[in-house]
């Protein structure tokens, strides 16, 4: 296969970026998209040019680091797939592929295709945890949880925090990410201790980071590599309203 890449190159968040064309000749259909970028970088290095900066870690669809917009779609056009799992057999020989970073103000560009997703870390720090006593772990079946509840919690826990939901949303909303984290812990007995203040603090941190409001188009679910349902956003909103109501009663 012979491909042509239009890749966004940008020194940092304060420097204007631009597209640069790179040829990728003689690549194989079984290559992943990140392996394609590795190949292009090897050639650039041999030519004495600066390689393309991009994020990667596990390359197994688990970590969420491979945050790229491929032909206008976060993670590419294959549903339920991260960029590291996207293979070249899904493209046509001779095709021109446009590669960009996440486009959102709360995700400033660090360099080229790498953005700073520290805003997600701050949201987690605000409430995405549980307080438990240290010591020996209890037996797993000591806390009986209905099967449907456990499965729903695991569906929410599947979120890898990649930020594709933010990148595709016209308002750069992080609602799906926050909803998944809030719902996961709210559904489990271990998460009840911080349940009320968790959603309050996480939503507050989301707003403080500059993320927009939910646009209600479900574009986030469409591009989520783990197919997180927008129904969790409704669950988060209910959790938030309950926390407000209980806070009002406490103050009266």
**Cα separations in angstroms, 248 against 19, 35, 111:** 52, 54, 46
pTM, 2 dp:
0.93
- In the chain, CATH 3.10.20.30 sits at 3-111
Q: Which fold has domain 118-251?
A: Fumarate Reductase Iron-sulfur Protein; Chain B, domain 2 (1.10.1060)
Q: What confidence score (pLDDT) does residue 193 get?
A: 86
CA dihedral sign of residues 120, 126, 128, 132: positive
pLDDT in tens, 73-92: 999 999 999 999 999 999 99
CA distances from 157 to 54, 184, 187, 188, 250 (A): 26, 6, 11, 11, 31
Tell me the pLDDT of the chain averaged across its residues.
Answer: 94
- Per-residue pLDDT tens over the stretch 88-134: 999 999 999 999 999 999 999 999 999 999 999 999 999 999 887 66
CATH assignment of 3-111, given 3.30.70.120, 3.10.20.30, 3.40.50.10540, 3.30.700.30? Answer: 3.10.20.30
Rounded CA separation 210/194 (Å): 24
Mean pLDDT confidence for 3-9: 98
**Is the pLDDT assigned to residue 252 strictly greater than 70?**
no
191-245 tens-digit pLDDT: 988 899 999 999 999 999 999 999 899 999 999 999 999 999 999 999 999 988 8
Phi/psi at 32 (5° precision): -80, 165
Contact 35, 133 (CB under 8 A): no
């Amino acid at each position: 296969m012979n491909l042509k890449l239009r890749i966004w190159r940008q020194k940092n968040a304060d420097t204007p970026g631009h597209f640069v064309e790179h040829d990728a000749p003689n690549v194989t259909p079984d290559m992943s998209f990140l392996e394609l970028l590795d190949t292009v970088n090897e050639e650039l290095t041999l030519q004495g040019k600066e390689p393309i900066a991009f994020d990667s870690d596990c390359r197994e669809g688990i970590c969420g680091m491979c945050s790229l917009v491929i032909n206008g779609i976060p993670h590419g056009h294959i549903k339920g797939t991260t960029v590291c799992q996207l293979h070249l057999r899904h493209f046509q020989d001779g095709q021109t592929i446009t590669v960009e970073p996440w486009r959102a103000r709360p995700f400033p560009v660090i360099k080229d295709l790498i953005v700073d997703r520290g805003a997600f870390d701050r949201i987690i720090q605000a409430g995405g945890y549980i307080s438990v006593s240290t010591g020996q772990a209890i037996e797993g079946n000591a806390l009986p949880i209905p099967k449907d509840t456990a499965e729903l919690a695991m569906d929410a826990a599947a979120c890898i925090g990649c930020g594709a939901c933010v990148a595709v949303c016209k308002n750069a909303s992080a609602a799906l990410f926050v909803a998944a984290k809030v719902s996961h812990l709210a559904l489990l007995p271990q998460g009840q201790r911080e349940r009320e203040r968790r959603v309050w603090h996480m939503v507050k941190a989301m707003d403080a980071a500059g993320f927009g409001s939910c646009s209600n188009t479900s574009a986030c679910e469409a591009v989520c590599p783990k197919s997180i349902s927008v129904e969790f956003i409704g669950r988060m909103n209910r959790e938030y309203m309950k926390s407000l109501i209980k806070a009002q009663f406490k103050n009266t």
